[in-house]
Amino acid sequence: DKVTIKISNAGIGFTYGYKKSVTLEGLATAEPEWLAAPADEAGVLAIAITKDPAEPSCFYQIVVK
């Protein structure tokens, strides 16, 4: 099962990723999982994150660099 997050204004030249934590406070210190940047044009970037059955409830934060 996957969680899909869509970013409709993804920009060229930026790298996107996400942080995940079982608590909202834990996002502050969570390590980001970096994904590939959008190809050559801006637009919609869909991030598919595999759900972990051991973590039934998680908070996600999208990060950009």
Residue-wise pLDDT tens digits, 5-57: 778 888 888 888 889 998 999 999 999 999 877 666 677 777 788 877 887 78
pLDDT score at 49: 80
pLDDT score at 58: 85
Measured distance between the N- and C-terminal CA atoms of the chain, rounded to whole angstroms: 27
